[in-house]
Amino acid sequence: SSPPESQTQPQQLAAAEHGLESVKRKLCRLVASSLSATVPGLDVEPMLEESKAGFGDYQCNNAMSLFSSLRGSSDANFQNPRAIGQAILNNLPPSDIVESTSVAGPGYVNIVISSDWIAQRIQHMLIYGIKTWAPTLPIKRAVVDFSSPNIAKEMHVGHLRSTIIGDTVARMFEFANIEVLRRNHVGDWGTQFGMLIEFLFEQFPNWEEVGNQAIGDLQSFYKASKEKFDNKESDFKVKAQQAVVRLQQGEERYRAAWKKICEISRNEFESVYKRLGVELEEKGESFYNPYILPVLEELTKKGLVTEDKGAQIILIEGQSALIVVKKDGGFNYASTDLAALWYRLNVEKAELIVYLTDVGQKLHFHKLFSAASMAGWLPDQNEYPKTSHVGFGLVLGLDGKRFRTRCTEVVRLVDLLDEAKSQCKAQLIERLTENGKIADWTNDELDRTSEAIGLGAVKYADLKNNRLTNYTFSFEKMLSDKGNTAVYLQYAHARICSIIEKASKDIDELTTKASITFIHADERALGLHIIRFQEVLEQACTDLFPHYLCDYLYSLSEAFSKFYTSCQVVGSPEETSRLLLCQATAVVMRQCFNFLGITPVYKL
Ligand code: ARG
């Protein structure tokens, strides 16, 4: 005869395919239904949040504001907010998620989630995979425009932030079953090319033969040509300006030199992306060049483009105008961005387009999006397609100033990653030596582990902050094994894995055969935190704030510590149930690591 699970499996599978609704969404629907029974005809948004007072797991806060908005109206048959709270409670439809409810204070409705329900939800995830906890978002395709350094100029820490945050945004969307077009909008079409090409021709007449060696390090090459460009005595500047025109007119020799310079830059960028494990597709500024004229024509026809002292501009309400054609007739950053936006909306058919740059570009994007709205490309605020500028603050050095090495030089990204790795390695070796474990490690293991921890630490130190704020870059802080750091989290995760290993049980078998039950309060608290994963992710995707994930991950590891302190796992009568809880914690932690681009380490 077939095992009992097989009867429920098809149903569960169907749920898995469609994804499950987050706990919060489910509760919101219950509250919404109660609200429409409590105050019929009033369209009230449920106000639901995690309980802070500890009377329940979630609390509904609608009563107070409903009372004040009802005051004086004919519906005012409630004595006080608490009476509304009681009515909301009474009208909650019965549900297997809810264990109990109560009204507290001035009318908060506290909801306690059923422990059995929490346990079943975790077990379901363990059986069908964490993908069943993918959030449901209303779009199918998004463009994430991130990293986007400028050719021949240095890729600085600002670009590192853009790369790290952008990758996390892309990963969250991908998990939510959104097709993500990861776009590297590299600056490969600026006026700097005139100067670079002219310098190349002058310094290395035979550049085609000597190739990459001629240019060598692009940053020094850029610096040298800029020096020449800024020298008022020479006629280099004029020649450089002519070179831009010849390049843009498509003259063969200039195109070839441009290509070469881009290629060298690209190789440098690629090495950073590879190291960081970030995938990106380059569609640089030059790609959109052919679209600029027709797009500007469309905008002109719509009456948006006006002339101003020889330049073409789009007037933006409450702001300075957006210049779309410069006085000299050339296109600029904004003209390219208009063409790119048009392309993303009409050719790539993206429903959401997010741009990751420092907050300094906020105004540029505000003007760009306003122009697009005026052109009728973007609908009203609450409808798709949508655009969003995901801004971030500066990276500061320990001196509180913009992060640099020495006094003027910008930090080279690869050096920075190398430094994180080597400090990590030294720490790891010291720790292993102290514990007498160093002999168990091969050199290769040490190397790979330090790379994973070091790079993870750099990424996490960035992602854990509210992106809008500046953050201070400190190796010491990010590599500490205490507090909210990736190093601490790596140790926490490795410890959970070693607990599971110590039990030497077949976890997959346990997952389908055993079940989870909560005996201790800390056990249940951990379980509740685990199932909140989905709503946290949903919120992070909506607000585009990766630090929600970091906060969640850190408090998950704290909840685990608490559980592990008060509940024996291996060798206890509750061993199987607790092992499943350990496994679920590890699975969720790894999924969060994955969003943050951190490679988990198992042996530590
Ligand atoms: N290259 C620009 C910079 O380094 C960032 C480009 C951002 N993307 C865009 N579509 N404008 O500041």
* CA 149 – ligand 1 centroid, Å: 7
For a ligand 1 pocket test, name from 185, 283, 364 the mutation site with the most ligand atoms within 8 angstroms of its C-beta: 185
What percentage of the chain exceeds 90 in pLDDT?
80
As beta bridge partners, residue 505 has none
Residue 168 has pLDDT above 80, yes or no: yes
Among 459, 535, 538, CA closest to 173? 538
Residue 12 has pLDDT above 70, yes or no: no
CA dihedral (554, 557, 559, 562) positive or negative:
negative
Q: Which ligand 1 atom sits nearest the alpha carbon of residue 361?
A: 12
C-beta 187 within 6 A of ligand 1? yes
What mean pLDDT is predicted for residues 323-350? 95
Amino acid at site 24: K
* CA 356 – ligand 1 centroid, Å: 8
pLDDT at 8: 40
Among 118, 22, 124, 95, CA closest to 517? 118
C-beta 355 within 6 A of ligand 1? yes
Please give the angle made by the CA atoms of 361, 363 and 366, to the nearest 5 degrees. Answer: 110
What pTM did the predictor assign?
0.93
CA 27 from chain centre, in angstroms, equals 26
C-beta 110 within 6 A of ligand 1? no
Q: Which ligand 1 atom sits nearest the alpha carbon of residue 187?
A: 1
Q: How far is CA 277 from CA 56, 274, 324, 419, 421, in A?
A: 42, 5, 36, 18, 15
Bond prior to 385 in cis (omega within 30° of 0): yes
Q: Which ligand 1 atom sits nearest the alpha carbon of residue 355?
A: 8
Q: For 483-520, how does the pLDDT look when each residue is reduced to its tens digit (9 = 90+)?
A: 999 999 999 999 999 999 999 999 999 999 999 999 99
What mean pLDDT is predicted for residues 264-268? 88
Q: Which ligand 1 atom sits nearest the alpha carbon of residue 159?
A: 4
* CA 198 – ligand 1 centroid, Å: 25
Among 241, 276, 331, CA closest to 458? 276
Q: For 174-224, how does the pLDDT look when each residue is reduced to its tens digit (9 = 90+)?
A: 999 999 999 999 999 888 899 999 999 998 888 887 666 667 678 788 889
pLDDT at 97: 96
Residue 4 has pLDDT above 60, yes or no: no
Q: Which ligand 1 atom sits nearest the alpha carbon of residue 337?
A: 10
For a ligand 1 pocket test, name from 188, 361, 362, 388 the mutation site with the most ligand atoms within 8 angstroms of its C-beta: 361
Q: Atom 5 of ligand 1 has which residue's CA nearest to it?
A: 148
Q: For 107-155, how does the pLDDT look when each residue is reduced to its tens digit (9 = 90+)?
A: 999 999 999 999 999 999 999 999 999 998 999 999 999 999 998 877 8
* CA 369 – ligand 1 centroid, Å: 15
Pairing of the two strands 108-113 and 58-60: antiparallel
- Note every long-range contact of 263-268, with CB atoms under 8 Å and residues 24 or more positions apart, other chains counting: 264/212, 264/215, 264/218, 265/151, 265/152, 265/186, 265/188, 265/218, 266/151, 266/186, 268/155, 268/218
